[in-house]
Structure 1
Amino acid sequence: MDHFLYRDGQLFAEDVPVAEIAAAVGTPVYVYSTATLLRHYRLFDEALAWGPHLVCYAMKAASNQAILKTLAEAGAGMDVVSGGEYARAKAAGVPGDKIVFSGVGKTREEIRMALEGGVRQFNIESEPEMRAISEIATSMGVEVPVTVRVNPDVDAKTHAKIATGKSENKFGIPIAKARGVYAEAAALPGLKVVGIDVHIGSQLTELEPFALAYRKVAELTQALRAEGHEIVRLDLGGGLGIPYTRSNEAPPLPVEYGQLIERELGHLGCEIEIEPGRLIAGNAGILVSRVIYVKEGEGRNFLILDAAMNDLIRPAMYEAHHDIVPVVEPQPAAEQAPYDIVGPVCESGDTFAKGRMMPAVGEGELVAFRSAGAYGAVMSSEYNTRALIPEVLVKDDQFAVIRARPSFDEIINRDSLPAWL
């Protein structure tokens, strides 16, 4: 569910007409709904109410300060994967003891930053990283909680580029090696082993891969406890999918996911951490774009938009589908025709959809990409010297620009010429 609905023939974001935002801010523009963000966070929080838990928002999905602060004030922790994300979380007022630091390539500078600022735990991805954390923590005279990310070799049945839990993926330590790695971690100074971490991928649309992974985690928990390790936390990652179309997709609900966790792991008495990102932010955002031209081609027609692949890379990178709808509600019996929906970037890959059935939209009219809140703005770029597009947050009948569109002068003036030019 989201809060982008037609009302009186116009698409609204909560109680604000989307066309009003476009007129005030320009297009293209990302628009987020506070009510949707909070609703989705609370669904996860309620799904784990059967035991101690922390929902850590995976901020790589959408990391604007306003989004982070909205979720943090509701009680969310943060899952970060870089020093920049850690700094963003702290700037949004998230305390260190609610920040989980994940990521396969933590640098020594990032490790030191988190130790100085406070961190709930490091999710360790490799033996060399574990030794580096131990060395830095010891040099600073601190002890830091850690988990080891285990790779359970489970097929998440998702897109190959967002699968993380198979043996050939770069993430985690093979679960067969875990007991030896935990023994080394327990012996290293500066580390306090507190739990196990697992994450098998993103945009999962069925629960069985989670169940397979969590059963392996349960077995490992019992084996490690038998060897004297204090396993009190289980970080289960994120990955629950969202419906990108309005037709036949029906991913599991957070409540069903919570029931699965309780069934597979509840008997262990551990605090549960989860790291959802896409399901919290995905349907909480839309990308609003204006039609520049309607072009008649040979055997096909094109809608050329002012949004491009640099603004929303998912279709080009993942062959991802986004529903694209007119901002003015079409009549129920409106005739539809196939269009290739494209942007103005000088690449054939700058294509959002091919042969997409759409009601007639004309030059200058607005369309909205649904389910664009996750991995939209955060993956955007200034390719073709196109300005990063603004982000807007809506709450009830108010809206605010939470990232402004830079001018061309601001973009160009970031460059520095060498002395010989």
Structure 2
Amino acid sequence: MAAPLALTDAEDPSFAELLALRPHLSLHAMDGLVMEGVPLARIAREVGTPAWVYSAGALRRRARALKSALADAGLTASVHFAMKCNDNLAVLKVLAAEGLGADVVSGGELRIARAAGIPGPAIVFSGVGKTEAEIRLALAEDIFQINAESAEEIAMISAIASAMGRTARVALRVNPDVDARTHAKITTGKSENKFGVHFDEAPAIYARMAALPGIAPVGIATHIGSQITAGMAAYRAAYARLAEMVQALRAAGLPVERVDCGGGLGIPYRDEPAPSPEALAGAIKATLGPLGLPVMLEPGRWIAGPAGVLLASVVLQKRGASHRFVVVDAAMNDLVRPAMYEAWHGIVPLSAARAAAPLSPAEVVGPVCETGDTFARGRLLPDLSPGDVVAFLDAGAYGAVMSSTYNARPLAPEVLVDGTRHAVVRARQTHEELLHGQRVPEWLAT
């Protein structure tokens, strides 16, 4: 397995190199770091920090690039945005207008997708632990497809659908036992992972599913991991195995209408090579194209990751015995990826003057009482003063959705930028809202 990205590296890309790969961001002499047509310093002044900011233009551009790659490869494909990476209503509205559906993994996400105007027939429900209530909701909303991950779940779906007088469109998620060479915590296609059914058992389970009442078997699905950057070999291996299975199911007289290819396409958080949507489309065409079936994709990070930043203000610089610590007001409760995955995020000052100043190594940390509340080690940054604002790049995926209120820190607001316009699309949580729902029992109240 490839080693995870480290928090530190002696050859960090420069600020200019980071921004060159992110066309929705630019550094202006007077306005500093700008997203599309809006200075990020203006947003920081208006809403405070920490704050999440998303580029509608980047979301549109990346959604269109993926759809174009699939079309240019001659594939009949539908794209369903993986909401687990970002479930903001405004973000979903932007992507729905680009013709994307949704991939959901909970009843809550399904309800948000519908609230964003995504129709039921454009929604796929994935996940290993769907409850009876969630299955009933999916059937009531007439969603496009339920990806079943076990024989036991298939039995649940059949019983619930039959009782409701409905027919559930179900794809069987197959675990192809392919190593995607990504972080151990986000790989999903190996035999020891909890997802899907074992490849060798899948044909028999599919045949039993086809015989059950209340179920219309529509195909097979897979998902081999997240943040895949090690080329197309893992995708090709997984999809080739799916193609073999489709041929075997057809030979047995079983119906197969489509193949769900999952998601996982990685992005360059730093400057590491990352595969393109054209490469993914080519891998799908080479392996699954001869089947003549429609395919589905469920990207999340590739679309939303680069479109977002997390703004944070410097609280103070602390000179330790051997390190310079830059303490910011964002913390691991806001952006947990560095603490959880040892993930690397670019950090860029909003001030053009700061970005041009001499650099020296710094430890970038948050205020939470955990040593793990560290965003970067040995990162080359200018001298920073209290009140200076920095942007953590590529925070549009697995950022706000993974936030918590640890240390009683209210959730940060979310802002959408669209050209020269911007709006708060989720307000900052108040301390009163943080306490909402808590109750003191009567015997303690006195």
Within the candidate set 149, 153, 162, 2:173 is matched to: 149
1:20-419 aligned within 5 A: 20-49=42-71, 50-205=74-229, 206-245=231-270, 247=271, 249-330=272-353, 334-419=357-442
SS state at 1:60 partner: helix
Letter of the 1:178 counterpart: A
Q: Give the letter aligned to residue 95 of structure 1.
A: P
Are the equivalent residues in 2 in contact too, given 1:2–1:283 (CA < 8 A)? Answer: no
> CA contact under 8 A between 1:102 and 1:124: conserved in structure 2?
yes
2:355 and 2:382 in contact (8 A); partners too: no
Aligned residue type for 1:152:
P
> What letter is aligned with 2:52?
Y
* Contact preservation (8 Å) 1:158, 1:202: yes
Question: Which ranges of 4 or more aligned residues in structure 1 deviate by more than 2 Å?
Answer: 329-334
The Cα shift of 1:372 comes to 0.6
Of stretches 368-377 and 330-339 in structure 1, the one that deviates more from structure 2 is 330-339
Tell me which residue corresponds to 1:8: 29
Residues 332, 191 of structure 1: alpha-carbon distance in 2 compared, 3 angstrom cutoff: closer
Alpha-carbon shift at residue 74 of structure 1 (Å)? 1.2
Q: Matched residues, percent identical?
A: 53
TM-superposed deviation, 1:176: 0.6
Answer yes or no: is the 8 Å Cα contact 2:354–2:384 preserved in 1: no
Q: Secondary structure at the match of 1:420?
A: helix
For structure 1, which segment, 144-153 or 408-417, has the greater mean C-alpha deviation from structure 2 after superposition?
Answer: 408-417
SS of the residue aligned with 2:443?
coil
Q: Deviations over 1:335-391 (max 9, x none)?
A: 211111000001111110111111222211010000011000000000000000000
SS in 2 for 1:321: coil
The structural deviation recorded for 1:331 is 6.9
Q: Distance in 2 between matches of 1:107 and 1:331?
A: 51
Q: Deviations over 1:308-358 (max 9, x none)?
A: 000000000000000101011247863211111000001111110111111
Conserved 8 A contact 1:325-1:367 = yes
What is aligned with 2:10?
Answer: none
RMSD: 1.1
1:414 Cα deviation (Å)? Answer: 2.6
- For 2:362, what is the secondary structure of its paired residue? strand
SS of equivalent to 2:345 = coil
Change (3 A) 1:51 1:252: same
Q: How many residues align?
A: 419
- State the TM-score, normalizing by the size of structure 2: 0.92
Distance 2:232 2:260 in 1: 17
Which stretch shifts more, 254-263 or 173-182?
A: 254-263
TM-score normalized by the length of structure 1: 0.98
Q: Secondary structure at the match of 2:442?
A: coil
- The AA in structure 2 aligned to 1:143 is T
Give the whole-Å Cα distance in 2 for the aligned partners of 1:243 and 1:74.
Answer: 24
C-alpha distance in structure 2 between counterparts of 1:277 and 1:406, whole Å: 25
Deviation at 1:260?
1.4
Following the alignment from structure 2 to structure 1, what is the Cα–Cα distance between the partners of residues 86 and 370?
26
The alpha carbon displacement at 1:5 in A equals 1.5
Distance 2:171 2:56 in 1: 32
Output the amino acid matched with 2:388: E
C-alpha separation between the residues in 2 aligned to 1:121 and 1:331? Answer: 50
List runs of 5+ in structure 2 lacking aligned partners: 1-21
- SS of 1:219's equivalent in the other structure is helix
**1:411 partner amino acid:** L
* Contact 2:331/2:366, CA 8 A, preserved across alignment: yes
Return the alpha-carbon distance in structure 1 between the equivalents of residues 75 and 373 of structure 2.
46
* Structure 1: stretches of 5+ with no match in the other structure: none
Contact kept in structure 1, 2:365 and 2:373, CA below 8 Å:
yes
